[in-house]
A and B are shown apart, each in its own frame.
Chain A
Amino acid sequence: MVVLKVRLFGLFREVVGSKEILLHFNDVDVTVSALKRGFFDVCPDLVSLGVLFVVAVNRKVVGDTAKVTPTDEVALLPLVSGG
């Protein structure tokens, strides 16, 4: 089993009520796509909100096929609104 620590910001942090969440996966190889599914499984409220977001791994935005390991810094980034 793989456990990933995922950082949350903005709307996600607020809805989940925490700055980070632990997600558990049975597969050793976890893709960003699987990470998203795992997140929605434990945070179904966010599915109904239909929020768009990207995933950052080690502070870089990555696509759905990228692999994620427990040593990576993982973050979910909802729509940004800086400035």
Chain B
Amino acid sequence: MIAIVQDSIDVAAVLRSVSSNSAGATVLFLGTVRDHGDEGAVLGLYYEAYQEMAEEVLRSIAQQAIGRWNLLGLSVVHRLGNLAVGEVSVAIAASAEHRVEAFEACRYVIDAIKKSVPVWKKEISAAGSMWVEGVLLEDNPDGYV
């Protein structure tokens, strides 16, 4: 399951989507909205994406991870729009025969998302809102991290 969605992420469905009887480990990573940033208290985040490109890059990252760690299942879901503190912005689930592969794959995918997927977020605070100073997008299909 590779998706960019507007509504709440169904974390249970993401986990189910990677289930395999051959798996000895399933790792779930959740990115969540925290209540503070560099400038102080945060009320929520707003996400937007270049959706067509973001989906293509997500699929490419997933293919790399599946091949590199011999995964049995991998799902990545990123949410857009307005999120409140505590809500899930991104869910990554990886299943593999052994835990090391599943852990490493999840780490790879979230690091790759932060560098290579065209998504932008804005912090909403009592004082106003501000685009988060991110990184220059890296396009590296031979290895995202």
Number of A-B residue pairs, CB cutoff 8 Å, is 86
The size class of the interface chain A forms with chain B is 20 to 34
Q: How large is the interface on B (under 10, 10 to 19, 20 to 34, 35 or more residues)?
A: 20 to 34
- A82 touching B131, Cβ below 8 Å: no
- The reply to whether A81 and B139 form a contact with Cβ atoms under 8 Å apart is no
A77 within 8 Å of B by Cβ? yes
In the assembled complex, B114 has its CB within 8 A of some CB on chain A: yes
Q: Do A81 and B31 have beta carbons less than 8 Å apart? A: no
A60 at the interface (CB under 8 A from B): yes
A17 sits at the interface (CB 8 A):
no
Partner of A82, one of B47, B56, B133, B139: B47
Which A56-77 residues have a C-beta within 8 angstroms of B?
A: 56, 59-61, 73, 75, 77
Instruction: Report the nearest B residue to A79, measured CB to CB.
Output: B134
Cross-chain contact A80 with B135 (CB below 8 angstroms): yes
Q: B90, A79: Cβ atoms under 8 Å?
A: no
Is B53 touching A11 in the complex (CB atoms < 8 A)?
Answer: no
Complex Cα spacing A60 to B52, Å: 11
Determine the chain B residues whose CB is within 8 A of the CB of A56 once the complex forms: 50, 53, 118, 139
Q: For the complex, what is the distance from the CA of A14 to the CA of B120, rounded to whole Å?
A: 12
* Residue B62, interface by CB 8 Å: no
- Interface residue? A9 (CB, 8 A): yes
The minimal Cβ–Cβ distance linking B11 to chain A, given in whole angstroms, is 16
A46 located at the interface, meaning its Cβ lies under 8 Å from any Cβ of chain B in the complex: no
In the complex, which residue of chain A has the Cβ closest to the Cβ of B134?
A81
- Assembly CA distance A14 to B129 (angstroms): 12
Chain B residues in the interface with A (C-beta under 8 A): 31, 47-50, 52-54, 56, 78, 89-90, 110, 113-122, 131-139
